[in-house]
Amino acid sequence: MLYPQEFDVIVVGGGHAGTEAALAAARMGCSTLLLTHNIETLGQMSCNPSIGGIGKGHLVKEVDALGGAMALATDEAGIQFRILNSSKGPAVRATRAQADRILYKAAIRRMLENQPNLSLFQQAVDDLLVEGERVVGAVTQMGLAFRARTVVLTAGTFLDGRIHVGLQNYAAGRAGDPPAVSLSARLKELQLPQGRLKTGTPPRIDGRSIDFSRCQEQPGDGMPGGVNPGHLPVFSFMGNAALHPRQVPCWITHTNARTHEIIRSGFDRSPMFTGKIEGVGPRYCPSVEDKINRFADKDSHQIFLEPEGLTTHEFYPNGISTSLPFDIQLALVRSMDGLENAHILRPGYAIEYDYFDPRALKSSFETRAIAGLFFAGQINGTTGYEEAAAQGLFAGLNAALQCRGEVPWVPARDEAYLGVLVDDLLTKGVTEPYRMFTSRAEFRLQLREDNADMRLTETGRRLGLVDDARWDHFSRKRDAVARETERLKSTWVNPRNLPASESERVLGKAIEHEYNLFDLLRRPGVDYASLMSLDDGRHVSSAVSRETLGELADSVVEQVEIAAKYSGYIDRQKDEVQRAAHYEQLRLPAELDYSQVPALSIEVRQKLQKHRPETLGQASRISGVTPAAISLLLVHLKKGG
């Protein structure tokens, strides 16, 4: 049967990529259908119930700045928040939250069900409708055909998914969910370049069987005993700590020599070491058997016992992801302090699945081979909820732009971590599941969590992703930051009006001539709050009076302070950005015949021919394409080649 309504955008898959894709397309006014296996699993976290972290938190804030759901849902579901790297510079500070997985799913589902222009439908998608070289819809398991102008595929770990526990394995999308076998076969038929990857998860433990008195307590930020008690961090720029549910601690235990011995004793039944698993796993997030094998000299690893929610006893032991046989899992868990009597609720496992080479995508994440078909999330070789959400929003908005007949939006590497993610995938592809790190961003001083809204919300508004409430909130903040920065620059402190004691207290020494407050704020050791104690009409002269910032105060002061402290570095980085932008703007003709570019090596020619970069900037980041080759290309372009 053909469903009577034709949609602008069909999104297949209701995970983190799919939900953001569907919400984005619908926010942009496109009639959107989200087709997913099971409405109960919308927004489900397949692995640990935690959002954010270094690099990942940056992506969540960017999704939020563009009107997305992840940060808002985390604010409603977060049962422990921490600011990681809080003692380091603002560029690498990152928010991480432990979420109640039930509250998280409920928040995502509520947002989806209340989103205008968006319909949900529960059913496995087994086939794509393709006419000529264009996708025109999707067909479900029961033969129901839905037509659409674009399709965004976000099938996660489900494509031909296979779960491994010891030497046993079975087909599944993740524990408890069916795999997408027919769809995988159909994609293979379409000859899109694909491979296999794997990821894993630890066994879950019943908290009633944990002896917490033998573990170390780890309170979150803002909690009694934690950093900054009384001040809970928030994720969304629209967020409010009052939305957070009750906060709870995590706990820490350790592996020991006995644990490692048990793990080694299971190597001969490990699907990884016996070659049952062929897919490559994430190097930075290894299974515990991989860690013991690779770092044989370490006799202990820290294991975080993380609560999965407020209404469950289930705990996630972060650090012991494993696909060893169940008897080994039970013994290794019980060898650790506090877990001597642990009851395992769910076994750990590894899963292998199909992914598609992201180098076969256009920069909008539309596949080169099939017009109108977009890929986002784990299917592109990434791992992580945050990476998936960011890509989902990106593919959803570009599908919507295509429906509107507009050009794609692709953020630059100096604009957003999303730009780094997209560009890395397009130019480098993946050799292992890709996750975001701050070290991937060369312009990270300006790509901070704190200014994600300043970087992206205006674009989000222009694209139609940002609603009136967010726009109003953002505009007030942006204007207040501009006014306060201007006021500091036009407020002068004269040494004649400043007693030496005051100068010593606030500035650490006397000032020799007149300075404005902004320049004084740039000095090491001078902070906004103490500087304001000079700003009382007696010590300063200003044409502009101080305004009350109200609920915006913290965020405005943060922006003004960072702008002052880092202005020198940021200005220097801007020069680099401008140089890099020159290459990004030089487009390489789609039909360029690289064999005609004089003096290029055969290897470089083959790489360029294969990847067909869209700009000289993209070409420069393909591995093996040397600066010399870029110069040759530049000369060729200048000659009109």
Query: Rounded to the nearest whole angstrom, what is the least distance from the CB of residue 390 to ligand FAD in the complex?
Result: 11
Longest CA span, the chain: 85
Does 378 bind ligand FAD (CB under 6 A)? Our answer is yes
Secondary structure letter of residue 152 according to DSSP: E
- Calpha distance 179→157 (Å, rounded): 8
Element (H, E) at 24: helix 16-27
Among 32, 46, 451, 618, binds ligand FAD (CB under 6 A): 46
Secondary structure letter of residue 220 according to DSSP: P
User: Between residues 322 and 620, which has the closer beta carbon with respect to ligand FAD?
Assistant: 322
In the block, tokens 């609603």 appear at: 467
* Strand partners of residue 171: 162
Asked whether residue 261 is marked as a ligand-binding residue, the answer is no
The total of other beta-carbon atoms located within 10 Å of residue 37's CB is: 23
Q: By C-alpha distance, which of 459, 372, 368, 444 is closest to 410?
A: 459
Q: In 570-587, which positions are buried (b, 16+ CB within 10 angstroms) versus exposed (e)?
A: beebeeebeebeebbebe
CB-neighbour burial class of residue 513 (10 A; exposed 0-12, middle 13-18, buried 19+): exposed
Asked whether residue 404 is marked as a ligand-binding residue, the answer is no
Query: Rounded to the nearest whole angstrom, what is the least distance from the CB of residue 36 to ligand FAD in the complex?
Result: 4
User: Between residues 155 and 481, which has the closer beta carbon with respect to ligand FAD?
Assistant: 155
Query: Rounded to the nearest whole angstrom, what is the least distance from the CB of residue 389 to ligand FAD in the complex?
Result: 8
Does 37 bind ligand FAD (CB under 6 A)? Our answer is yes
Asked whether residue 226 is marked as a ligand-binding residue, the answer is no
User: Between residues 291 and 435, which has the closer beta carbon with respect to ligand FAD?
Assistant: 435
What is the three-state SS of 123-136?
CCEEEEEEECCEEE
User: Between residues 144 and 570, which has the closer beta carbon with respect to ligand FAD?
Assistant: 144
Binding segment (CB under 6 A) for ligand FAD, from list 170-178, 231-239, 270-278, 398-406: 170-178
Binding segment (CB under 6 A) for ligand FAD, from list 109-117, 242-250, 381-389, 448-456: 381-389
Asked whether residue 294 is marked as a ligand-binding residue, the answer is yes
User: Between residues 18 and 266, which has the closer beta carbon with respect to ligand FAD?
Assistant: 18
- Calpha distance 279→157 (Å, rounded): 12
Asked whether residue 282 is marked as a ligand-binding residue, the answer is yes
Does 53 bind ligand FAD (CB under 6 A)? Our answer is no
Does 11 bind ligand FAD (CB under 6 A)? Our answer is no
Asked whether residue 285 is marked as a ligand-binding residue, the answer is yes
Cβ 448 vs Cβ 91: under 8 Å: yes
Q: By C-alpha distance, which of 613, 157, 628 is closest to 428?
A: 613
Among 57, 156, 266, 279, binds ligand FAD (CB under 6 A): 156
Does 15 bind ligand FAD (CB under 6 A)? Our answer is yes
Among 235, 385, 409, 434, binds ligand FAD (CB under 6 A): 385
Does 154 bind ligand FAD (CB under 6 A)? Our answer is yes
Binding segment (CB under 6 A) for ligand FAD, from list 66-74, 151-159, 337-345, 505-513: 151-159
Q: By C-alpha distance, which of 531, 541, 529, 556 is closest to 475?
A: 556
Asked whether residue 283 is marked as a ligand-binding residue, the answer is yes
Does 57 bind ligand FAD (CB under 6 A)? Our answer is no
Asked whether residue 30 is marked as a ligand-binding residue, the answer is no
Does 158 bind ligand FAD (CB under 6 A)? Our answer is yes
Interaction residues for ligand FAD, span 413-452 (CB under 6 A):
435
Does 316 bind ligand FAD (CB under 6 A)? Our answer is no
Q: First vs last Cα of the chain: how many Å apart?
A: 51
User: Between residues 149 and 174, which has the closer beta carbon with respect to ligand FAD?
Assistant: 174
CA dihedral 223, 228, 229, 231 (to 10 degrees): -90
Among 7, 8, 9, 14, binds ligand FAD (CB under 6 A): 14
Among 55, 166, 222, 384, binds ligand FAD (CB under 6 A): 384
Among 18, 67, 319, 460, binds ligand FAD (CB under 6 A): 18
Query: Rounded to the nearest whole angstrom, what is the least distance from the CB of residue 199 to ligand FAD in the complex?
Result: 4
Does 517 bind ligand FAD (CB under 6 A)? Our answer is no
3-state DSSP call for residue 512? coil
CA dihedral 8, 12, 16, 21 (to 10 degrees): -10
Binding segment (CB under 6 A) for ligand FAD, from list 111-119, 153-161, 223-231, 581-589: 153-161
How many Cα atoms are found within 13 Å in the side-chain-facing hemisphere of 22? 33
| Residues 6 or more apart in contact with residue 572 via CB below 8 angstroms | none
User: Between residues 319 and 613, which has the closer beta carbon with respect to ligand FAD?
Assistant: 319
- Residues touching ligand FAD: how many (CB under 6 A)? 37
In the block, tokens 């877990």 appear at: 339
Binding segment (CB under 6 A) for ligand FAD, from list 35-43, 223-231, 400-408, 518-526: 35-43
Interaction residues for ligand FAD, span 463-502 (CB under 6 A):
none
Which CA distances in Å does 37 have to 13, 16, 44, 120, 176? 7, 14, 12, 11, 12
Does 22 bind ligand FAD (CB under 6 A)? Our answer is no
Cβ 435 vs Cβ 382: under 8 Å: yes
Asked whether residue 281 is marked as a ligand-binding residue, the answer is yes
| Binding mask of the shown chain, residues 104 to 133, with x at each position contacting ligand FAD by CB under 6 A | --------------------xx--------
Query: Rounded to the nearest whole angstrom, what is the least distance from the CB of residue 147 to ligand FAD in the complex?
Result: 17
CA dihedral 62, 63, 65, 71 (to 10 degrees): -110
* Per-position DSSP letters for 361-429, written without gaps between them: B-TTSBBSSSBTEEE-GGGGTB-SHHHHHHHHHHHHHHHHHHHHT-------TTT-HHHHHHHHHHHH-
Does 73 bind ligand FAD (CB under 6 A)? Our answer is no
Among 47, 54, 111, 361, binds ligand FAD (CB under 6 A): 47
Asked whether residue 286 is marked as a ligand-binding residue, the answer is yes
3-state DSSP call for residue 252? strand
Q: What are phi and psi of 521, to 5 degrees?
A: -65, -25
| Residues 6 or more apart in contact with residue 461 via CB below 8 angstroms | 471, 474
| Binding mask of the shown chain, residues 174 to 213, with x at each position contacting ligand FAD by CB under 6 A | x--x--x--x---------------xxx------------
Residues in the chain: 641
Does 249 bind ligand FAD (CB under 6 A)? Our answer is no
Q: Which residues define the annotated binding site?
A: 13-18, 281-295
Q: Which residues define the annotated binding site for NAD(+)?
A: 281-295
Point out which residues bind ligand FAD (CB under 6 A). 12-18, 35-37, 41, 46-47, 124-125, 154-158, 173-174, 177, 180, 183, 199-201, 285, 351, 377-378, 383-385, 388, 435
